Structure 1
Amino acid sequence: MTSPRILVTDFDGTITAHDFYKMVVENLLTPQDIAPWQEYREGKITHLSALQQILAKVRASESELNALALAMNPDPRLSAAVDSLRNAGWEIVVASAGCDWYIRRVLAAAGVDLEIYSNPTSLEDNGSLRMQGPVDSPFYCHETGVDKAGIVRSYTRQGYTVAFAGDGFADLPAALGVNPGLRFARADLATALGRYHEEFQSFSVWSDVADALLSRDTQRSAQ
Protein backbone atom coordinates (compact mmCIF):
# COMPACT_ATOMS: atom_id res chain seq x y z
CA MET A 1 0.00 0.00 0.00
CA THR A 2 1.37 3.42 -1.00
CA SER A 3 1.93 5.79 1.91
CA PRO A 4 0.19 9.18 1.84
CA ARG A 5 2.30 11.95 0.32
CA ILE A 6 2.51 15.61 1.20
CA LEU A 7 4.48 18.63 0.01
CA VAL A 8 5.25 21.14 2.76
CA THR A 9 6.12 24.40 1.03
CA ASP A 10 7.36 27.81 2.03
CA PHE A 11 5.55 30.76 0.41
CA ASP A 12 7.57 33.99 -0.05
CA GLY A 13 10.31 33.44 -2.61
CA THR A 14 9.15 29.84 -3.15
CA ILE A 15 5.61 29.99 -4.49
CA THR A 16 6.22 33.65 -5.34
CA ALA A 17 9.18 35.40 -6.95
CA HIS A 18 9.28 38.18 -4.35
CA ASP A 19 9.11 38.52 -0.57
CA PHE A 20 6.23 40.57 0.87
CA TYR A 21 8.33 41.93 3.74
CA LYS A 22 11.00 43.24 1.36
CA MET A 23 8.37 44.88 -0.83
CA VAL A 24 6.80 46.57 2.20
CA VAL A 25 10.22 47.84 3.31
CA GLU A 26 11.05 49.18 -0.14
CA ASN A 27 7.69 50.86 -0.76
CA LEU A 28 6.13 51.84 2.57
CA LEU A 29 8.72 52.20 5.33
CA THR A 30 11.66 54.36 6.36
CA PRO A 31 15.05 53.16 7.66
CA GLN A 32 13.92 54.10 11.16
CA ASP A 33 10.83 51.93 10.80
CA ILE A 34 12.91 48.82 10.21
CA ALA A 35 15.29 49.30 13.15
CA PRO A 36 13.86 46.19 14.90
CA TRP A 37 15.35 44.05 12.15
CA GLN A 38 18.85 45.00 13.28
CA GLU A 39 17.90 44.09 16.83
CA TYR A 40 16.83 40.68 15.54
CA ARG A 41 20.12 40.29 13.64
CA GLU A 42 21.97 41.07 16.88
CA GLY A 43 19.99 38.42 18.76
CA LYS A 44 18.18 40.91 20.98
CA ILE A 45 14.63 40.04 19.85
CA THR A 46 12.98 37.20 17.96
CA HIS A 47 12.26 37.09 14.23
CA LEU A 48 8.54 37.21 15.05
CA SER A 49 8.92 40.23 17.33
CA ALA A 50 10.90 42.12 14.71
CA LEU A 51 8.26 41.54 12.05
CA GLN A 52 5.47 42.45 14.45
CA GLN A 53 7.09 45.77 15.29
CA ILE A 54 7.97 46.60 11.70
CA LEU A 55 4.58 45.75 10.20
CA ALA A 56 2.91 47.81 12.93
CA LYS A 57 4.65 50.85 11.38
CA VAL A 58 2.92 50.36 8.03
CA ARG A 59 0.38 52.99 7.04
CA ALA A 60 -1.35 51.94 3.84
CA SER A 61 -4.79 51.35 2.41
CA GLU A 62 -6.10 47.87 1.79
CA SER A 63 -5.87 48.44 -1.96
CA GLU A 64 -2.21 49.46 -1.66
CA LEU A 65 -1.37 46.36 0.34
CA ASN A 66 -3.36 44.14 -2.00
CA ALA A 67 -1.39 45.56 -4.93
CA LEU A 68 1.88 44.79 -3.16
CA ALA A 69 0.74 41.26 -2.38
CA LEU A 70 -0.21 40.55 -5.99
CA ALA A 71 3.10 42.05 -7.15
CA MET A 72 4.86 39.20 -5.33
CA ASN A 73 4.49 37.43 -8.67
CA PRO A 74 3.28 33.91 -7.86
CA ASP A 75 4.20 31.18 -10.31
CA PRO A 76 1.83 31.55 -13.31
CA ARG A 77 1.47 27.76 -13.39
CA LEU A 78 0.60 27.54 -9.69
CA SER A 79 -3.05 26.52 -10.07
CA ALA A 80 -2.36 23.94 -12.76
CA ALA A 81 0.58 22.51 -10.80
CA VAL A 82 -1.51 22.22 -7.63
CA ASP A 83 -4.25 20.41 -9.56
CA SER A 84 -1.72 18.02 -11.10
CA LEU A 85 -0.19 17.15 -7.74
CA ARG A 86 -3.58 16.59 -6.15
CA ASN A 87 -4.72 14.40 -9.03
CA ALA A 88 -1.60 12.32 -8.45
CA GLY A 89 -2.42 11.92 -4.76
CA TRP A 90 -0.22 14.61 -3.22
CA GLU A 91 -1.46 16.83 -0.41
CA ILE A 92 0.01 20.33 -0.12
CA VAL A 93 0.38 22.66 2.86
CA VAL A 94 1.94 26.11 3.09
CA ALA A 95 4.29 26.71 6.03
CA SER A 96 5.33 30.34 6.36
CA ALA A 97 6.81 32.64 8.99
CA GLY A 98 5.07 35.51 7.20
CA CYS A 99 1.47 36.75 7.39
CA ASP A 100 -1.57 34.75 6.46
CA TRP A 101 -3.14 38.08 5.37
CA TYR A 102 -1.26 38.32 2.09
CA ILE A 103 -0.83 34.57 1.56
CA ARG A 104 -4.59 34.09 1.44
CA ARG A 105 -5.01 36.97 -1.00
CA VAL A 106 -2.31 35.78 -3.36
CA LEU A 107 -3.66 32.22 -3.38
CA ALA A 108 -7.25 33.40 -3.86
CA ALA A 109 -6.22 35.57 -6.81
CA ALA A 110 -4.53 32.52 -8.34
CA GLY A 111 -7.66 30.41 -7.78
CA VAL A 112 -5.87 28.12 -5.31
CA ASP A 113 -7.07 26.88 -1.91
CA LEU A 114 -4.36 25.40 0.33
CA GLU A 115 -4.03 24.64 4.03
CA ILE A 116 -1.88 27.37 5.58
CA TYR A 117 0.30 27.39 8.69
CA SER A 118 1.33 31.00 9.16
CA ASN A 119 1.03 33.98 11.50
CA PRO A 120 -2.52 35.38 11.83
CA THR A 121 -2.54 39.01 10.72
CA SER A 122 -5.20 41.69 10.45
CA LEU A 123 -5.29 45.06 8.73
CA GLU A 124 -6.01 47.71 11.36
CA ASP A 125 -8.04 50.90 10.87
CA ASN A 126 -4.85 53.00 10.88
CA GLY A 127 -3.45 51.05 7.92
CA SER A 128 -1.01 48.93 9.93
CA LEU A 129 -0.70 45.16 9.92
CA ARG A 130 -1.21 43.47 13.29
CA MET A 131 0.68 40.21 13.26
CA GLN A 132 0.28 37.59 15.99
CA GLY A 133 1.90 34.25 16.66
CA PRO A 134 -0.43 31.25 16.24
CA VAL A 135 -0.22 30.37 19.93
CA ASP A 136 -3.06 27.84 19.72
CA SER A 137 -1.38 25.90 16.89
CA PRO A 138 0.50 22.67 17.65
CA PHE A 139 3.23 24.13 15.46
CA TYR A 140 3.63 27.44 17.28
CA CYS A 141 7.25 28.56 17.58
CA HIS A 142 8.32 31.43 19.85
CA GLU A 143 11.13 32.46 17.49
CA THR A 144 9.31 32.62 14.15
CA GLY A 145 5.67 31.90 14.96
CA VAL A 146 5.60 28.75 12.83
CA ASP A 147 7.73 25.64 13.37
CA LYS A 148 8.26 24.37 9.81
CA ALA A 149 10.50 21.53 10.94
CA GLY A 150 7.81 20.53 13.43
CA ILE A 151 5.27 20.32 10.61
CA VAL A 152 7.60 18.06 8.64
CA ARG A 153 8.19 15.84 11.69
CA SER A 154 4.47 15.58 12.41
CA TYR A 155 3.56 14.34 8.94
CA THR A 156 6.55 11.99 8.93
CA ARG A 157 5.39 10.45 12.22
CA GLN A 158 1.94 9.98 10.69
CA GLY A 159 3.46 7.82 7.97
CA TYR A 160 3.53 10.36 5.17
CA THR A 161 6.17 10.58 2.49
CA VAL A 162 7.12 14.24 2.96
CA ALA A 163 8.66 16.64 0.44
CA PHE A 164 9.79 20.16 1.33
CA ALA A 165 10.39 23.26 -0.80
CA GLY A 166 11.91 26.52 0.41
CA ASP A 167 14.28 29.38 -0.32
CA GLY A 168 15.48 30.85 3.00
CA PHE A 169 18.12 30.13 5.64
CA ALA A 170 15.30 29.61 8.16
CA ASP A 171 14.02 26.71 6.03
CA LEU A 172 17.13 24.64 6.70
CA PRO A 173 15.84 22.56 9.68
CA ALA A 174 12.68 21.62 7.78
CA ALA A 175 14.63 20.77 4.62
CA LEU A 176 17.00 18.53 6.55
CA GLY A 177 14.00 16.61 7.88
CA VAL A 178 13.12 15.09 4.50
CA ASN A 179 14.80 12.66 2.11
CA PRO A 180 17.36 14.46 -0.12
CA GLY A 181 15.42 13.35 -3.18
CA LEU A 182 12.38 15.21 -1.84
CA ARG A 183 14.29 18.31 -0.71
CA PHE A 184 13.81 21.30 -3.04
CA ALA A 185 15.80 24.50 -2.59
CA ARG A 186 16.72 27.74 -4.22
CA ALA A 187 18.42 31.00 -3.18
CA ASP A 188 19.59 31.13 0.47
CA LEU A 189 18.36 27.64 1.33
CA ALA A 190 20.37 26.18 -1.55
CA THR A 191 23.43 28.08 -0.30
CA ALA A 192 22.96 26.77 3.23
CA LEU A 193 22.50 23.17 2.11
CA GLY A 194 25.55 23.43 -0.13
CA ARG A 195 27.60 24.77 2.77
CA TYR A 196 26.77 21.64 4.75
CA HIS A 197 27.32 19.41 1.70
CA GLU A 198 23.70 18.29 1.81
CA GLU A 199 22.04 17.07 -1.38
CA PHE A 200 18.97 18.85 -2.74
CA GLN A 201 16.95 19.34 -5.90
CA SER A 202 17.15 22.85 -7.31
CA PHE A 203 14.18 24.73 -8.73
CA SER A 204 13.53 28.08 -10.38
CA VAL A 205 9.75 28.36 -9.98
CA TRP A 206 7.36 26.40 -7.78
CA SER A 207 5.89 24.39 -10.65
CA ASP A 208 9.38 22.92 -11.17
CA VAL A 209 8.87 21.19 -7.80
CA ALA A 210 5.53 19.80 -8.90
CA ASP A 211 7.00 18.58 -12.19
CA ALA A 212 9.86 16.84 -10.36
CA LEU A 213 7.54 15.09 -7.91
CA LEU A 214 5.25 13.92 -10.71
CA SER A 215 8.23 12.68 -12.71
CA ARG A 216 9.48 10.81 -9.65
CA ASP A 217 6.07 9.17 -9.27
CA THR A 218 6.12 8.09 -12.91
CA GLN A 219 9.58 6.60 -12.60
CA ARG A 220 8.71 4.71 -9.45
CA SER A 221 5.53 3.32 -11.04
CA ALA A 222 7.56 2.04 -13.99
CA GLN A 223 9.97 0.12 -11.75
Structure 2
Amino acid sequence: MKPFAFLSDFDGTLSQRDFYHLMIDRFFPEWGNQFYQDWKKTKKINVEFLNIIFGKLNLTEEQLLDEIRKIPLTPGAIEFVNEVQARGGDFYIVSAGTSWYIERLLQVLEIPNVTVISMPAVHENGALRIAPDTANPFFSEVFGLDKRKVLEDIRGRYRTVLFAGDSEPDLEAAKAADIAFARGELRELLKRDGVSHVPVDDYHAISGYLNNNGWPE
Protein backbone atom coordinates (compact mmCIF):
# COMPACT_ATOMS: atom_id res chain seq x y z
CA MET A 1 0.00 0.00 0.00
CA LYS A 2 1.35 3.41 -0.96
CA PRO A 3 1.75 6.16 1.68
CA PHE A 4 -0.64 8.81 0.40
CA ALA A 5 -2.63 10.28 -2.44
CA PHE A 6 -3.50 13.93 -2.88
CA LEU A 7 -6.74 14.52 -4.78
CA SER A 8 -7.40 18.01 -6.07
CA ASP A 9 -10.33 19.56 -7.82
CA PHE A 10 -9.29 21.53 -10.90
CA ASP A 11 -11.60 24.47 -11.61
CA GLY A 12 -11.32 27.08 -8.87
CA THR A 13 -8.88 24.96 -6.89
CA LEU A 14 -5.84 24.00 -8.95
CA SER A 15 -6.83 26.80 -11.31
CA GLN A 16 -7.60 30.21 -9.86
CA ARG A 17 -10.95 30.45 -11.65
CA ASP A 18 -13.38 28.06 -13.26
CA PHE A 19 -12.84 27.66 -16.99
CA TYR A 20 -16.48 28.51 -17.65
CA HIS A 21 -16.06 31.83 -15.81
CA LEU A 22 -13.01 32.58 -17.92
CA MET A 23 -14.96 31.86 -21.10
CA ILE A 24 -17.92 33.98 -19.96
CA ASP A 25 -15.68 36.94 -19.17
CA ARG A 26 -13.77 36.57 -22.42
CA PHE A 27 -16.58 36.09 -24.92
CA PHE A 28 -20.04 36.94 -23.53
CA PRO A 29 -19.73 38.71 -20.16
CA GLU A 30 -23.09 40.48 -20.07
CA TRP A 31 -25.24 37.52 -21.10
CA GLY A 32 -23.08 34.93 -19.36
CA ASN A 33 -22.91 36.52 -15.94
CA GLN A 34 -26.65 37.14 -15.89
CA PHE A 35 -27.31 33.57 -17.02
CA TYR A 36 -25.01 32.29 -14.26
CA GLN A 37 -26.78 34.33 -11.58
CA ASP A 38 -30.22 33.20 -12.78
CA TRP A 39 -29.14 29.55 -12.96
CA LYS A 40 -27.68 29.56 -9.44
CA LYS A 41 -31.00 30.70 -8.00
CA THR A 42 -32.69 27.38 -8.73
CA LYS A 43 -30.10 24.88 -9.99
CA LYS A 44 -26.68 23.45 -9.33
CA ILE A 45 -23.70 24.12 -11.58
CA ASN A 46 -23.79 20.85 -13.52
CA VAL A 47 -23.04 19.33 -16.92
CA GLU A 48 -26.17 20.89 -18.43
CA PHE A 49 -25.00 24.35 -17.36
CA LEU A 50 -21.45 23.78 -18.60
CA ASN A 51 -22.66 22.54 -21.97
CA ILE A 52 -24.82 25.62 -22.41
CA ILE A 53 -21.83 27.88 -21.69
CA PHE A 54 -19.31 25.89 -23.73
CA GLY A 55 -21.91 25.47 -26.45
CA LYS A 56 -21.85 29.24 -26.98
CA LEU A 57 -18.20 29.15 -27.98
CA ASN A 58 -17.29 29.49 -31.63
CA LEU A 59 -13.60 28.66 -31.64
CA THR A 60 -11.32 26.52 -33.73
CA GLU A 61 -9.39 23.88 -31.83
CA GLU A 62 -6.26 26.01 -31.96
CA GLN A 63 -8.16 29.05 -30.66
CA LEU A 64 -9.56 26.95 -27.83
CA LEU A 65 -6.07 25.67 -27.02
CA ASP A 66 -4.91 29.29 -26.83
CA GLU A 67 -7.59 29.95 -24.19
CA ILE A 68 -6.59 26.82 -22.28
CA ARG A 69 -2.96 27.96 -22.20
CA LYS A 70 -4.10 31.15 -20.47
CA ILE A 71 -5.80 29.35 -17.54
CA PRO A 72 -4.17 30.83 -14.42
CA LEU A 73 -3.09 28.29 -11.81
CA THR A 74 -3.43 28.93 -8.10
CA PRO A 75 -0.13 30.06 -6.55
CA GLY A 76 2.11 27.18 -5.54
CA ALA A 77 0.21 24.59 -7.58
CA ILE A 78 3.05 23.25 -9.74
CA GLU A 79 5.54 23.28 -6.87
CA PHE A 80 3.05 21.41 -4.71
CA VAL A 81 2.49 18.67 -7.30
CA ASN A 82 6.25 18.18 -7.43
CA GLU A 83 6.48 18.16 -3.64
CA VAL A 84 3.76 15.51 -3.30
CA GLN A 85 5.59 13.29 -5.77
CA ALA A 86 8.98 13.89 -4.15
CA ARG A 87 7.54 12.74 -0.82
CA GLY A 88 6.29 9.47 -2.29
CA GLY A 89 2.68 10.48 -2.88
CA ASP A 90 0.55 10.38 -6.01
CA PHE A 91 -1.28 13.45 -7.30
CA TYR A 92 -4.74 13.14 -8.83
CA ILE A 93 -6.95 15.76 -10.43
CA VAL A 94 -10.62 14.92 -9.90
CA SER A 95 -12.88 17.23 -11.87
CA ALA A 96 -16.57 17.58 -12.69
CA GLY A 97 -15.43 19.60 -15.70
CA THR A 98 -13.69 17.80 -18.53
CA SER A 99 -10.34 16.14 -19.09
CA TRP A 100 -10.35 17.77 -22.55
CA TYR A 101 -8.91 21.04 -21.27
CA ILE A 102 -7.20 19.72 -18.13
CA GLU A 103 -4.99 17.20 -19.91
CA ARG A 104 -4.06 19.69 -22.63
CA LEU A 105 -3.04 22.25 -20.03
CA LEU A 106 -0.91 19.68 -18.20
CA GLN A 107 0.84 18.90 -21.48
CA VAL A 108 1.54 22.58 -22.11
CA LEU A 109 2.89 23.04 -18.59
CA GLU A 110 4.88 19.79 -18.83
CA ILE A 111 3.49 18.43 -15.57
CA PRO A 112 4.04 14.64 -15.68
CA ASN A 113 2.63 11.70 -13.73
CA VAL A 114 -0.66 13.32 -12.73
CA THR A 115 -3.76 11.16 -13.11
CA VAL A 116 -6.83 13.04 -14.34
CA ILE A 117 -10.24 11.62 -13.45
CA SER A 118 -12.90 13.67 -15.16
CA MET A 119 -15.38 13.56 -18.04
CA PRO A 120 -14.68 13.30 -21.75
CA ALA A 121 -15.66 16.04 -24.17
CA VAL A 122 -15.65 16.64 -27.90
CA HIS A 123 -14.86 19.79 -29.84
CA GLU A 124 -17.37 20.17 -32.65
CA ASN A 125 -18.79 23.08 -34.63
CA GLY A 126 -16.65 25.50 -32.66
CA ALA A 127 -18.05 24.42 -29.30
CA LEU A 128 -16.98 22.07 -26.52
CA ARG A 129 -19.49 19.43 -25.43
CA ILE A 130 -19.06 17.34 -22.29
CA ALA A 131 -20.33 13.80 -22.71
CA PRO A 132 -20.47 11.93 -19.37
CA ASP A 133 -20.14 8.15 -19.53
CA THR A 134 -23.25 6.88 -17.76
CA ALA A 135 -21.66 3.41 -17.49
CA ASN A 136 -18.70 4.80 -15.55
CA PRO A 137 -18.77 3.55 -11.92
CA PHE A 138 -18.10 7.13 -10.81
CA PHE A 139 -21.01 8.61 -12.77
CA SER A 140 -23.24 11.08 -10.95
CA GLU A 141 -26.72 12.07 -12.11
CA VAL A 142 -26.18 15.49 -10.54
CA PHE A 143 -22.62 16.52 -11.38
CA GLY A 144 -21.60 13.93 -13.98
CA LEU A 145 -18.81 12.69 -11.70
CA ASP A 146 -19.15 11.55 -8.08
CA LYS A 147 -15.90 12.63 -6.44
CA ARG A 148 -16.61 10.76 -3.23
CA LYS A 149 -16.86 7.49 -5.15
CA VAL A 150 -13.54 8.30 -6.79
CA LEU A 151 -11.92 9.01 -3.43
CA GLU A 152 -13.28 5.87 -1.82
CA ASP A 153 -12.00 3.78 -4.73
CA ILE A 154 -8.55 5.34 -4.48
CA ARG A 155 -8.48 4.94 -0.70
CA GLY A 156 -8.04 1.19 -1.07
CA ARG A 157 -4.54 1.74 -2.46
CA TYR A 158 -3.21 4.33 0.01
CA ARG A 159 -2.75 4.69 3.75
CA THR A 160 -3.86 8.34 3.66
CA VAL A 161 -5.98 10.34 1.22
CA LEU A 162 -5.97 14.14 1.20
CA PHE A 163 -8.38 16.30 -0.76
CA ALA A 164 -8.60 19.93 -1.88
CA GLY A 165 -11.67 21.61 -3.36
CA ASP A 166 -13.64 24.81 -3.53
CA SER A 167 -17.33 24.20 -4.27
CA GLU A 168 -20.40 22.00 -3.87
CA PRO A 169 -19.31 19.11 -6.16
CA ASP A 170 -16.35 18.70 -3.77
CA LEU A 171 -18.39 18.48 -0.58
CA GLU A 172 -18.89 14.74 -0.20
CA ALA A 173 -15.31 13.91 -1.19
CA ALA A 174 -14.04 16.44 1.35
CA LYS A 175 -16.13 14.75 4.04
CA ALA A 176 -14.59 11.37 3.21
CA ALA A 177 -10.95 12.53 3.08
CA ASP A 178 -8.49 12.11 5.93
CA ILE A 179 -7.72 15.82 5.63
CA ALA A 180 -9.78 18.27 3.57
CA PHE A 181 -8.32 21.57 2.38
CA ALA A 182 -11.03 24.06 1.42
CA ARG A 183 -11.14 27.18 -0.72
CA GLY A 184 -14.13 29.32 -1.64
CA GLU A 185 -17.67 28.25 -0.83
CA LEU A 186 -16.55 24.76 0.23
CA ARG A 187 -15.39 26.31 3.50
CA GLU A 188 -18.90 27.45 4.36
CA LEU A 189 -20.46 24.16 3.25
CA LEU A 190 -18.13 22.14 5.47
CA LYS A 191 -18.61 24.56 8.35
CA ARG A 192 -22.39 24.27 7.92
CA ASP A 193 -22.16 20.49 8.11
CA GLY A 194 -19.77 20.50 11.05
CA VAL A 195 -16.92 18.89 9.13
CA SER A 196 -13.34 19.48 10.20
CA HIS A 197 -11.26 21.06 7.45
CA VAL A 198 -8.27 23.28 6.79
CA PRO A 199 -9.18 26.62 5.14
CA VAL A 200 -6.57 27.65 2.58
CA ASP A 201 -6.15 30.20 -0.18
CA ASP A 202 -3.44 28.49 -2.21
CA TYR A 203 -1.06 25.54 -2.40
CA HIS A 204 1.64 27.37 -0.48
CA ALA A 205 -0.75 27.24 2.47
CA ILE A 206 -1.38 23.51 1.99
CA SER A 207 2.35 22.85 1.82
CA GLY A 208 2.90 24.97 4.92
CA TYR A 209 0.24 23.07 6.84
CA LEU A 210 1.77 19.71 5.96
CA ASN A 211 5.30 20.91 6.70
CA ASN A 212 4.15 22.06 10.14
CA ASN A 213 1.91 19.12 10.98
CA GLY A 214 3.69 16.32 9.17
CA TRP A 215 3.32 14.76 5.76
CA PRO A 216 1.64 11.34 5.58
CA GLU A 217 4.01 8.39 5.66
How far 1:53 sits from its partner (Å)?
Answer: 3.1
Does the CA contact (< 8 Å) of 2:75 and 2:203 recur in 1? no
Residue matched to 2:101: 102
2: CA distance, partners of 1:108 / 1:78: 15
Go from structure 1 to structure 2 and tell me whether the alpha carbon gap of 1:87 and 1:49 turns closer, same or farther (over 3 Å shift): same
How far 1:158 sits from its partner (Å)?
Answer: 4.3
Root-mean-square deviation over aligned CA pairs: 2.8
How far 1:21 sits from its partner (Å)?
Answer: 0.6
How far 1:212 sits from its partner (Å)?
Answer: 2.9
Residue matched to 1:203: 200
Q: Partner amino acid for 2:130?
A: M
TM-score (norm. length: structure 1) = 0.82
Count of paired positions: 215
Q: What whole-Å deviation, never above 9, does each CA across 1:147-186 have from its counterpart, x for those lacking one?
A: 101112222344531111001122111111123xx11001
Equivalent residues in 2 for 1:1-223 (5 A)?
4-29=3-28, 31=31, 38=38, 41-43=41-43, 47-75=46-74, 77-113=76-112, 114-124=114-124, 126-158=125-157, 160-179=159-178, 182-217=179-214
Moved more, 16-25 or 80-89: 80-89
TM-score (norm. length: structure 2) = 0.84
Go from structure 1 to structure 2 and tell me whether the alpha carbon gap of 1:215 and 1:110 turns closer, same or farther (over 3 Å shift): farther
2: CA distance, partners of 1:91 / 1:206: 16
1: CA distance, partners of 2:5 / 2:106: 18
Q: Partner amino acid for 2:107?
A: A
2: CA distance, partners of 1:32 / 1:163: 34
Identity %: 25
SS for the counterpart of 1:162 is strand
How far 1:138 sits from its partner (Å)?
Answer: 2.1
2: CA distance, partners of 1:64 / 1:34: 25
Which consecutive unaligned segments of at least 5 residues does structure 2 have? none
How far 1:95 sits from its partner (Å)?
Answer: 0.7
